[in-house]
Structure 1
């Protein structure tokens, strides 16, 4: 369990992020066309998992925009935004915002990603959604960087995450 805050009020996640140096947990998430995607589908690429509560919030939208902009400049890298938003909402957001490089995947069906990655919020008004976190996975499938953002309304450390991705 990890303690984080939402507008200064303490809340908790069900666990902790995967450990740096360990194999990243596999996942099955839903693409915008309702087909499944797994970590294995991105094997051989560097992956930045931008985990957010919902794209319908300002900070989540900003983080996806910023990581999308950076994605074009990083060779052999994939930016994946994971939330519990419906795939239709994710597609609508990306279309409206011109998001072309980042991929959005949904954990709406089972919530298993949130459990495996320790980001499911356990208490408070966002209970059941994902906390704001970043996980970078190297080409060999090992976790090379993690950040559990301590305050849900704060943006992640873009510079550190992107440095780990390069």
Structure 2
């Protein structure tokens, strides 16, 4: 798979995830500087990786999911980037984002490595979406071919609503 940033190919490091795989564990840091891993989450989860929530494309994506999050009961949405937790917290506060949990992969880069989303050239995460069911199985995967494009919101929400 070729992924591009502003039409220039980039190298993704890590393991590509496929539908049917067990969701890989990870460690990321929440806005209170506490470590969060996959085992600390439950239910149906939408995991979004983005380059930086403080850019126009990522801003739109996170705010769109924040607005749509309440439309599906029992689904938890996590947005993970390399942004520092302080910046994520500030951004969420400024934009009233409270239905999406932001996590930072800055410390160990395990989300990037375990989900195949770490961009070697930029030190950022690529734009991707994963839906994980309550049994920790991957039921939806989308790696964006062009990082500056938006994900398929409706397909992600449909997969999450159909997951158990």
TM over 0.5: yes
Q: CA deviation at 1:16?
A: 4.7
Q: Could you list the runs of 5+ residues in structure 2 that have no partner in the other structure? A: none
Q: CA deviation at 1:8?
A: 1.1
Q: CA deviation at 1:116?
A: 0.6
State how far apart, in whole Å, the 2-side matches of 1:101 and 1:142 are: 23
Q: CA deviation at 1:6?
A: 1.2
1:71-117 Cα deviation digits (max 9, x unpaired): 11111100000001000000000000000110000001111210011
Match of 2:95 in 1: 97
State how far apart, in whole Å, the 1-side matches of 2:10 and 2:22 are: 28
State how far apart, in whole Å, the 1-side matches of 2:34 and 2:158 are: 31
Match of 2:124 in 1: 129
Task: Find runs of 4+ consecutive structure 1 residues off by over 6 angstroms.
Answer: none
State how far apart, in whole Å, the 2-side matches of 1:72 and 1:35 are: 25
Q: CA deviation at 1:28?
A: 1.2
Q: CA deviation at 1:67?
A: 0.8
Q: CA deviation at 1:49?
A: 0.6
Q: 1:79 aligns with which of 77, 80, 83?
A: 77
Q: Could you list the runs of 5+ residues in structure 1 that have no partner in the other structure? A: none
SS at match of 1:88: helix
Match of 2:67 in 1: 69
1:101-148 Cα deviation digits (max 9, x unpaired): 10000001111210011000123xxx2110000011001110000000
State how far apart, in whole Å, the 1-side matches of 2:129 and 2:16 are: 9
- Asked if 1 retains the 8 angstrom alpha-carbon contact of 2:45 and 2:75, the reply is yes
Paired positions, count: 161
TM-score, structure 2 normalization = 0.95
- Asked if 1 retains the 8 angstrom alpha-carbon contact of 2:28 and 2:35, the reply is yes
State how far apart, in whole Å, the 2-side matches of 1:33 and 1:122 are: 27
Superposed, which structure 2 residues align to 1:9-24 within 5 Å?
A: 9-24=8-23
Q: Tell me if 1:151 matches 2:151.
A: no
**Pairwise CA RMSD:** 1.0
